[in-house]
Structure formats: C-alpha cells, structure tokens
C-alpha cells in the first residue's frame, strides 16, 4: 500500500496538519518537530505529497509556461533569451512553481510540441516578442489562463516592453552626432521563415513583429534613407551575411546599426574579413546588452538589462496570480558606449 502523509504523522507523533507544514514550508515548524517528521518519512519511504492531488485541491498546476517562438535550438544559442529566462526563472522559483518551455508550432517553424489544450499551466509568458497575432495566446486566453507578453502577442493581459523606437533612435543619434551620414541597418526577421535581403520601409511597417518594426522606424527617424537589410535569423551568421550586402555596396556605409548584439558581432566580423578596421573605417552598434565572452570587442549597444526584464515579466505573473490589477510595464534601457563606434572616417 502507498504510504500516506497520515502514516508519517502517526509515526512522528504529530498532527497530519503539522506534517503537511513540514513538506509545504508554508509556515515555520519547530526544528525538532521537523526532524522527527523527516525521519519518519525516510523510515517509511515517503517521498512527499502527491503534486497532482495538491493541484486539484488548490486549483493550480504549479507550472508557468514560457512560450519560445522558435526552435529551442535557436533560443539557447541566443544569450539574450537565456538571460531573460534566468530572470523569469528566479521569480518562478520564488513562487514555488516550475517553468515549462513550450515551443510555438503555430507557423510551422518551431519544434513539435504538445497542444495547448493538454498543457496545465497557471500562466503563459511570451518572452521573445514575435508575432502580434498568436494562436497559442488566443488558446490560453480562451481557457482563462493569464498571458504576459513582451510587446506581442496582442491581447495579452500585461505587456512588459521597452520603448523600442526611442531606444533605437538614441543609438542612431549617437552615430549622427559622430558625423555619420551613410548608415545601414541590419534588422531581425520581419516574419519567420524569410531570407536575408533588402527591404523597404513599407515592408517594415507591415511587419507584425513589433520589436523589429519599431527599432527600424527609430533608425529611420534619424537616417531617413538608411538601407534596410532583414536577417534570416537574429544570430551571428545572419548578421555576417546581412552586413556583407551593405559592405559590398558603393559607396559603402560608414556605420551599421544592428538590432541585436549577435547581429552586430557578425557585422564586425564581416568588416574585419574585408580588411576594414572597427571603428576607424566602420562603426557598428548592437542592441540587447548581453555578455559575449567569445567576442573580443565591447559593443556600443542598447542594454535591455535582460535579467531584470525577465524578473519584471515574472513579477507581472506573480501579480496576476494574486488577483491584482496589473498595468503594462515599460522597462528602462541604457545606451552603453563601447569600442566599436567612433567618428566618421576622415572627420
């Protein structure tokens, strides 16, 4: 027969409610009493309360779903994603919950995963922005599951965002103040499943990816005719390829604004491989503020403080689960100058 909590309480000589507190940690229990309960549990081979039974009693699964809008492989190659997850997981741990990574297969570009209808989650987090129109978010909302987004999807109970346009405009203004006028822009994807190539501002404005769209518009606020290059993925290799299109033009740009630090690192390498010096011949900026220990330079970038952003997402989840009224959150960002930007060549 399965050992129960009541069996443990009887062996330890305490009330069942006292034994329950030892395992839940909801209230302090005298150290000597806790030791007796734990010793009794060890003697009887009791591993702890049945989490399924606890979920039924409290109406909670103890699980927070974090939707990853691409393949898990891509997500864990991106230090920004890992940092946001780190901050989120800290708060989820404080809540005593588990974190479930849920691939988004809605558009056919994620890993295959379970249907949302089969996922028991207390809240869902869309932490990588992505498409404003998301089927998974609609499915969660229809079940009454609170949804937190980071700019997308539309209809989330709370959005935790930065002012993407203003941040992008600030790094563009920095280059303008340094004398640069021929500036190219390397963007993150405008939609999943695309390819690296030139895009028009009309195509950018039509994108349903608000982070890509707003950052590009911020650059165009300062540089009205900046060439716009969409990268296939927000990673090093795509940044290298996208920068190559800009550096092969005549006249080539004197600066490249990239929408992520990984894209910017790829752009720096593309310049170096063409015999250009950074920043003497070409200035490069990024966006995110992540640690790239394998990259020998210090990028000029927009620091999103991704761990803090992840914690802000977690705090929104905490408030929603407590039944509190929660407003959208605008997280601060910082323009951080590094050694990849300098005056326009010949200034």
Q: Let me know whether 168 and 299 are in one domain.
A: yes
In a domain, 184, yes or no: yes
Residue 185: inside a domain, yes or no? yes
Pair 179, 252 in one domain: yes
Is residue 296 located within the same domain as residue 267?
yes
> Which residue has better confidence, 285 or 75?
285
Q: Both 284 and 194 in a single domain?
A: yes
Residue of 288, 243, 242, 280 whose CA lies nearest to 262: 288
Whether residue 199 is found in the same domain as residue 294: yes
Cα 66-96-71 angle, rounded to 5 deg: 20
Residue 137 has pLDDT above 70, yes or no: yes
Does any domain span residue 344? Answer: no
Average pLDDT over residues 72-81: 84
Q: Which of 19-23, 198-202, 228-232, 294-298 is predicted least confidently?
A: 19-23
pLDDT of residue 133: 87
For residue 268, is it within any domain?
A: yes
Which of 139-153, 177-191, 217-231 shows the lowest per-residue confidence on average (mean pLDDT)? Answer: 139-153
For the residues 2-26, what does the mean pLDDT come to?
A: 85
Q: How many domains does the chain divide into?
A: 3
Is 89 found in the same domain as 212?
no
Q: Which of 50-64, 227-241, 282-296 has the lowest mean pLDDT?
A: 50-64
Q: Is the pLDDT of residue 154 over 70?
A: yes
The answer on 216 and 240 residing in a single domain is yes
Strands 228-230 and 183-187: parallel
Would you say residue 47 has pLDDT above 90? no
pTM: 0.83
Do 117 and 221 lie in a common domain? no
Domain region containing 130: 63-162+306-330
Same domain? For 169 and 142 the reply is no
Question: How buried is 100 (Cβ within 10 angstroms: 0-12 exposed, 13-18 middle, 19+ buried)?
Answer: middle
Q: How far apart are CA 220 and CA 218, in angstroms?
A: 5
Residue ending a domain, choose from 288, 303, 318? 303
Identify the CATH number of the domain in which residue 79 sits. Answer: 3.40.50.2300
Predicted pLDDT of residue 55: 52
Residues 127 and 88 placed together within one structural domain of the fold:
yes
Residue 33 lies in a domain: yes
Q: Is the pLDDT of residue 112 over 50?
A: no
What is the spatial distance between Cα 6 and Cα 37, in angstroms, rounded to a whole number? 11
**Based on the domain organization, do 67 and 157 belong to the same domain?**
yes
Indicate whether 20 belongs to any domain.
Answer: yes
What is the average pLDDT across 137-154?
A: 90
What pLDDT, on a 0 to 100 scale, did the predictor assign at position 56?
A: 46
* Model confidence band, residue 172 (pLDDT cutoffs 50, 70, 90): very high
- Whether 339 is in a domain gets the answer no
Query: Is 236 inside any structural domain?
Result: yes
Same domain assignment for residues 183 and 294: yes
Residue 302 or residue 29, greater confidence: 302
């Amino acid at each position: 027969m399965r050992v129960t909590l009541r069996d443990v309480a009887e062996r330890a000589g305490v009330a069942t409610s006292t034994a329950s507190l030892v395992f839940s940690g909801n209230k302090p229990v005298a150290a000597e009493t806790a030791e007796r309960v734990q010793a009794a549990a060890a003697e009887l081979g009791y591993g702890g309360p049945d989490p399924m039974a606890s979920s039924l009693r409290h109406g909670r699964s103890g699980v927070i779903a974090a939707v990853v809008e691409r393949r898990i492989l891509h997500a864990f190659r991106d230090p920004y994603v890992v940092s946001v997850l780190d901050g989120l997981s800290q708060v989820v741990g404080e809540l005593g919950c588990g974190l479930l990574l849920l691939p988004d297969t809605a558009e056919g570009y994620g890993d295959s995963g379970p249907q949302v209808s089969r996922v028991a989650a207390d809240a869902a987090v869309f932490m990588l922005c992505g498409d404003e129109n998301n089927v998974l978010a609609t499915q969660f909302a229809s079940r009454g599951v609170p949804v937190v987004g980071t700019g997308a999807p539309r209809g989330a109970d709370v959005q935790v965002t930065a002012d993407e346009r203003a941040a992008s405009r600030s790094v563009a203004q920095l280059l303008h103040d340094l004398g640069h006028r021929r500036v190219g822009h390397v963007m993150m994807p405008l939609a999943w499943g695309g390819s690296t190539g030139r895009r028009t501002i009309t195509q950018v404005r039509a994108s349903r990816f608000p982070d890509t769209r707003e950052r590009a518009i911020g650059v165009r606020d300062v540089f009205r005719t900046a060439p716009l290059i969409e990268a296939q993925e927000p990673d090093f290799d795509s940044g290298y390829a996208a920068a190559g299109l800009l550096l092969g033009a005549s006249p080539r740009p004197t600066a490249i604004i990239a929408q992520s630090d990984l894209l910017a690192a790829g752009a720096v390498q593309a310049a170096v491989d063409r015999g250009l010096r950074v920043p003497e011949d070409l200035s490069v900026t990024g966006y995110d503020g992540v640690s790239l220990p394998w990259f020998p330079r210090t990028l000029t970038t927009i620091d999103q403080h991704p761990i803090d952003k992840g914690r802000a997402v977690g705090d929104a989840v905490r408030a929603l689960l407590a039944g509190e009224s929660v407003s959208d959150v605008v997280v601060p960002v910082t323009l951080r100058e590094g050694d990849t930007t300098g005056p326009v060549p010949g200034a």
